[in-house]
């Protein structure tokens, strides 16, 4: 999953997450299952990984 694949609203929510834990909690809240690979891609998309 890449950041560009997400809706603009979801991109903003992902960008607001400061940690992997926050991102995982967001995914759970939104009903999205993230693999370790997805998590790494999303965190590295804006330079956090």
> What's the structural domain count of the chain?
1
pLDDT tens by residue, 1-49: 778 888 999 999 988 988 889 999 999 999 988 888 988 888 887 666 5
- The answer to whether 23 and 14 are in contact (CB under 8 A) is yes
Query: 13-43 burial, b if ≥16 CB within 10 A, otherwise e?
Result: bbeebeebeebeebbeeeeeebeeebbebbb
Range of the domain at 37: 3-45
Per the listing, tokens 């560009």 go with 4
pTM attached to this predicted model: 0.76
């Amino acid at each position: 999953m890449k950041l560009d694949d997400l809706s603009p609203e979801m991109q903003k929510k992902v960008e607001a997450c400061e940690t992997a834990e926050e991102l995982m909690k967001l995914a759970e809240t939104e009903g999205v299952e993230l693999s370790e690979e997805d998590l790494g891609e999303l965190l590295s998309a804006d330079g956090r990984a």
